Every structure is written in structure tokens, then in C-alpha cells.
Chain A
Amino acid sequence: MSQKQIGDVILDVNNISLRFGGVNALTDISFNVKEHEIRAIIGPNGAGKSSMLNCINGVYTPQDGSITFRGKTFSHMNSRQVAEMGVARTFQNLALFKGMSVIDNIMTGRNLKIKSNMFLQALRIGPAEKEETRHREYVEHIIDFLEIQAFRKTPVGQLPYGLQKRVDLGRALAMEPQVLLLDEPMAGMNVEEKQDMCRFVLDVNDEFGSTIVLIEHDMGVVMDISDRVVVLDYGKKIGDGTPEEVRSNEDVISAYLGTSH
């Protein structure tokens, strides 16, 4: 692991409960995320991992509990507010703008940051021109970083799956997020693609300084790259700690091996 400075708590999840009708998707979940760390959420299928991410992202509103982000506490908020505060995410099932080119997809991530008047933009004059150029440079930087230069003009719908995942990450990065939520970034990838993605995640954490919360199924990956791990099962938290601590936790072992239910 690289030598990095893990800071104070940036995101604090307090006693979140989420129900869909009679189904308890999440029950009384609390954990925190510190600045610059890579925090993994793991658990068997249906454990509530994605629901947890959707709560942080403002897609779902939990019935109980609150989320504190950089000292401000919220009990419910919408996706727009979350995005404005500097939280970006990627999706488990790709949710890219398929008809648009790679570069346009990533540019959409800059949308919140583009401030100039629509009419100036249309005419490409004055400050709008400069602004567009500046954003474009940042996007090019991301494209270089993710090694997808060759595909910048390709409609993303035509790219192979592994590359689409990278574009998804690129779009999130374009928002210059403080916290990056990754929903199974390595799902459905082959070994080589997984290695690439691991490298990108670590580099993002390093170079861009983003705090990362990730959901992942591949235990090898999780144990390798994360600083701390939360384990969910049936919507409850059953473990929390460093990879080593979690690995030796009895509840976690039984949840994964399915011994004593």
C-alpha cells in the first residue's frame, strides 16, 4: 500500500434504516468514511449494499437515520444536492449515455461546473469559449489517465464492456468528486480488466485525492485495495474493520459460507 494520509471523518452514516413496503432493506446501519481512504462495502447478494449506496447518493430516502457529510447532517436530500456537494458515483449496470461519444459522456460530468450563459456558449464567444476549453482540457486529462485516448470520438454503446466501465468512472471523475461511490466497478470483468480497474481505483485515490466507497464481490480485490471494510448481511451490519479483522470475524465467515442460518 502506498503511504497516504488518512484524514478526519468526511462521511458519517448514522442509524440508517430503509424499508420497501414490508422488506427491510437496511436496518440501523452506521459507519463512517475518512478522508482519502478506500472504504469497501461487502456482503452476499441482496445484503443491501446497493441500497446503502443509493441512500448516500440521494436516490433513496431512508425512513430513519441521517447522513453527515463534511459536518452537515441530512435526513433526506436529492441527487442534485448530493452531486453539488461533491459526491459522484458509478453504476453496477452501466448507465452511460450510449448514443454520445466518450468525450461527450465525460463532458456531461462537468455540467454542474459550467457557469457561462447559454447564449454565449452557443456562439462560442468571450468567456464561454475559454471556459469550454478549460473543461475540455480537464476531460482530456481524465481520458489520458484512463488510457482511452483512442476511443474519444466513439459512441460508447459500441465499446467493449470493460472500456464502458472506464468511461463510467471517467464521467464520475469529471465532477472532481470528494467522495466517489463505485458500485461493483469490477463486476463482469476478466482478470486482466480487473487488474486494470484496480490500478485505476488506486491511482484515483492517490492522484485525484478522492475518498472512495466501493461495493465489490471479488474478495481478493477488496482485501487488496481497501483500507477498511463494512460487511452487510440481510440489511444488517455484521462486521466493520480492517481487511484482516473482517477476515477473521466469525459472523462474516458464516455469512459467506452460509453455515449457521
Chain B
Amino acid sequence: MAFFLETLLGGLMAGMLYSLVALGFVLIFKASGVFNFAQGAMVLFAALAMARFAEWIPHWTGIDNPMLANVVAFVLAGVVMFLVAWLIERLVLRHLVNQEGTTLLMATLGITYFLEGLGQTIFGSDIYKIDIGMPKEPIFMLESLFPGGVLVNKEDVIAAAIAATLVTLLSVFFQKTSTGRALRAVADDHQAAQSIGIPLNRIWVIVWCVAGVVALVAGMIWGSKLGVQFSLATVALRALPVVILGGLTSVPGAIIGGLIIGVGEKLSEVYLGPFVGGGIEIWFAYVLALVFLLFRPQGLFGEKIIDRV
């Protein structure tokens, strides 16, 4: 039983990280109707920026407090992501107003490869580490219930708390503010949004910035667990099934989808793996997503839009 709980918790924590990446997809899709393929590249770019700045800042400024250096690096990386967002709007999106979704998707595909290349050109292509001082030691819980207790990583708990805070803030922003409403409006219809005086360009910069910050947080957490390396960009592919499961337009959907997939992966690997020879973890999420596409294409929480013929 303790082992089951450990697997479950491990799955939840992994799921939380998928959720963070999925959240980036959802934000941009919700607010601009663009399926942003570049989200993974943004995670990599942000994490690279953060890792390298944390390394460079003590040299540049003589700050020797690692925590302070991390904070400065985080802020600088945030500024970099803002610049990226602004440039993407200025150079790409502005020229594609009112175009088909496919056109915009292709544009983000281009941005993906460009960002991956640029990130490695500027920040280097080795493996870097982000050390934000997360406690690595495990804690044991429920020792009175199970012999030996349940092992939990402190690091994971903190990561989960950060993710939860971010999600709450974003949900409130989307549902309660007029800017949030404007973002949702832009997602549905560019032309109509313009006619009521919503400035498309500014909205796009805002939403790409927010997605950039989400990418930065995701990159920071992944990076501090696994190190910052090129494979971070492929994290995006792992988040795709999450988005399909949760619904492309739902912030809570991204979270719950991520958790379901994280838990599903781990449990199926542990309990079904022995019977089919293992490796389930790799394809489980995709099969689940396919099943959802068949029976509930809008995902668990997505908006169901009925198109009239």
C-alpha cells in the first residue's frame, strides 16, 4: 500500500510538471487561437537564459549570495522572455492577423526551430544546472500508518506549490479581469475583437509574455531537477496529450490532464508493465489522448463549440 501511494505521488509530481508546460499551450491558444508549437522551445530558451545568467551574474557584478544571484537571473530571464514575446508579435503575428489557424501554427513551427537555434547560439549547448536551493532530501510521511512510511521528495512538494500558485493566479486573471475577457474575445474572433476596440497587438504581447513566464517557471523547475539541456525542448511533445485530455481552452483542464497523465504513466508502468514487457510510460499518454480524441474531442473541460453548416 505504501508503495502504491509512493507511485501515485511520484505520478502526481511528474504530472504537475507536464501541467506547467501544457499551461503555456492553453494560455496562448485561449487568448489568441494559436496553437503555439514553440512552447517547448520557449521552455528551453527560458531555462537556458536563467541557468546562464545565474552563472554569469556573480562574475559580472560580484554578487556572491547564490540566492540573490538566482533572483536576479530569474528577473533577467523574465525580461528576455518579454523581449522574445514582443519580437514575435512585432515580426510574425502582426502580419498574420485574420489568417487561418494553420498558417499561424506553421509560423510557430518556424519560431520553434529559430528559438532552439538562437538559444544555443547565445547561451551555449552544454548541459547546465539550475540550483535554486531546493531541498533534495526526502521526507517520510504517514509513518504511523505504514511500516517505513511513504517517501516524498521535498523538492517535488515545493514545485507543486509553485505550480498551484501560478495556476490560481492565472485562472483569476482570465475569469475576473477585463483584460482576461479581452484575451478570450481575441481567441474567438480577431475582427470582432478589433471592432470593439480591443488592441490585438497589445493583447498578443501580453499573452506571449505570460506564456513566456510560465515557460520560465516550468524550465526552472525541470532544469533544477534534470539539468538544462536540449532535450527540454521535447518536453512540449509530452505535454501535447495533456492538452488534448484537458481541453485546449481550459486552465484547470491543463492541470488535471497533467495529473491524470502523470499518475496514469507511473501506475501503468508499475502495475501493467511486467505483463507487457515495460515501456508503457513512453506511449501511455498518447494512447489515452487518442481515445479522448475519439470520444471527447474537446477534452475534459474544453469549450464545446457547435458549428452550424
Assess A80 versus B197: contact at CB under 8 Å? Given A122-B172, A122-B177: yes
B197 and A97: CB pair below 8 A?
no
Query: Which of A8-16, A34-42, A99-107, A210-218 sits within the interface?
Result: A99-107
Contact partner, B178, options A59, A111, A158, Cβ 8 Å: A111
Report the Cα distance A164→B196, complex, angstroms: 17
User: Separation in Å of the A104 CB from the closest CB of chain B?
Assistant: 6
**Which of A17-25, A84-92, A242-250 participates in binding chain B?**
A84-92
Q: Size of chain B's interface in residues, with CB distance under 8 A?
A: 29
Stretch at the interface among B71-79, B183-191, B272-280, B286-294: B183-191
CB-CB under 8 A from A83, the residues of chain B are 194-197
- Could you tell me if B189 and A96 are in contact, using CB atoms closer than 8 angstroms? yes
Whether B181 and A79, one on each chain, are in contact in the complex, defined by CB atoms closer than 8 angstroms, is: no
Chain A interface: which size bin?
35 or more
Residues in B neighbouring A59, C-beta threshold 8 A: 191, 194-195
* Highest count of chain B CB atoms <10 Å: which of A91, A96, A99, A157: A99
Is residue B192 within 8 Å, beta carbon to beta carbon, of the partner chain? yes
A154 to chain B, nearest CB (A): 11
Inter-chain contact total with CB atoms closer than 8 Å = 97
Contacts of B198 in A (CB 8 A): 80, 108, 111
Cβ-based interface call for B309 (8 A):
no
Question: In chain B, what residue has the closest Cβ to A120?
Answer: B177
Chain A, residues 157-185, CB within 8 Å of chain B (1/0): the string is: 11001000000000110010000000000
Interface residues of B in 135-186 (CB under 8 A from A): 172-173, 176-179, 181-182, 184-185
Q: Which residues of B contact A1 (CB under 8 A)?
A: none
Contacts of B196 in A (CB 8 A): 83, 88, 108-109, 111-112, 171-172, 175
A241 lies within 8 A of chain B by Cβ: no
Q: Is A44 positioned at the interface, with any CB of B under 8 Å from its CB?
A: no
Instruction: Identify which of B177, B178, B184, B308 contacts A97 (C-beta below 8 A).
Output: B184
Does the CB pair A124–B176 fall under 8 Å? Answer: yes
**A residues lining the B interface (CB < 8 Å):** 57, 59, 79-80, 82-84, 88-89, 91, 95-100, 104, 107-112, 114, 118, 121-122, 124, 155, 157-158, 161, 171-172, 175
Residues of B within 8 A of A (CB): 172-173, 176-179, 181-182, 184-185, 187-189, 191-199, 249, 303-308
29 CB < 8 A contacts A-B: A57-B195, A59-B191, A59-B195, A79-B194, A80-B197, A80-B199, A83-B194, A83-B196, A95-B195, A98-B188, A99-B188, A100-B185, A100-B188, A104-B184, A108-B185, A110-B178, A112-B196, A118-B173, A118-B177, A118-B179, A121-B177, A122-B173, A122-B177, A124-B176, A155-B303, A157-B306, A161-B308, A172-B196, A175-B197
Closest 8 pairs (CB-CB, A-B)? A83-B197, A97-B188, A95-B192, A99-B303, A79-B194, A114-B178, A121-B177, A112-B197
